[in-house]
Amino acid sequence: MRHEFADGKYTVINDNGKLTALRHGEPWGRDLVGDNLVYWMLIEVDTLRAVNQELLEACQTLVGLPNTEDWIATLRLAVDQARAAIAKAEGQA
């Protein structure tokens, strides 16, 4: 798992539990070994970004609704996808 922050200035990498940090793409001399705070923050960022993508896809479905009789079914599907993503983000799924 790898996430960039501050427009790519910082990168945190989780390689099977080994945490490393980059600054401007170069190894950053920060010792993250055993840093559970950074680990759990990285897990949370990963979850939130996945949920954000699900919500974005549901919104794109809404924006691209066809002008046909099945638009209600498409709308219901998008709402269900959004609800599922919200439940997942709240830890209910």
pLDDT in tens, 18-42: 899 999 999 998 888 777 888 899 9
> How confident is residue 85, by pLDDT bands cut at 50, 70 and 90?
confident
Q: Both 49 and 89 in a single domain? A: yes
CA distance 24 to 15: 19
- 22: Cβ contacts below 8 Å, ≥ 6 apart: 10, 11, 12, 13, 28
Which tokens in the block code for residue 71? 């638009």
Give the residue from 26, 27, 21, 28 showing the smallest Cα distance to 5.
21
Q: What pLDDT, in 10s, does the model give residues 44-75?
A: 999 988 888 888 777 777 767 666 656 677 77
The total domain count for the chain is: 2
Q: Both 22 and 44 in a single domain? A: no
Question: Which domain range does residue 23 map to?
Answer: 1-34
Amino acid 52: pLDDT: 82
Q: Both 43 and 28 in a single domain? A: no
Q: Both 39 and 84 in a single domain? A: yes
